[in-house]
């Protein structure tokens, strides 16, 4: 993947992460909160966070001091 594709992928991951956060909040405030579904969404959100960090590491070069 080139840098432009990585930036697009990063933006898509961040959008999905925000959407999952909103979905988790909505389910948590609902009267019939499904704890299993919330747990699954949180797990997916953590995976996305890891993927975001990985893509950011590719985009931001390490600077050795």
**Sign for the pseudo-dihedral over CA of 23, 57, 60, 6:** negative
Taking residue 52's Cβ as centre, other Cβ atoms within 10 Å add up to 17
Q: In whole angstroms, what is the distance from residue 59 CA to residue 41 CA? A: 27
Block residue for tokens 């299993």 = 36
Distance of CA 36 to the CA centre of its chain: 19
- Whole-structure pTM value: 0.83
pLDDT tens for 3-47 read: 999 999 999 999 999 999 999 999 988 876 788 999 999 999 999
């Amino acid at each position: 993947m080139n840098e432009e594709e990585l930036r697009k992928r990063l933006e898509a991951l961040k959008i999905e992460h925000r959407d999952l956060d909103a979905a988790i909040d909505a389910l948590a405030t609902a009267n019939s909160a499904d704890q299993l579904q919330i747990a699954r969404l949180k797990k997916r959100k953590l995976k996305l966070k890891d993927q975001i960090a990985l893509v950011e590491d590719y985009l931001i070069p390490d600077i050795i001091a």
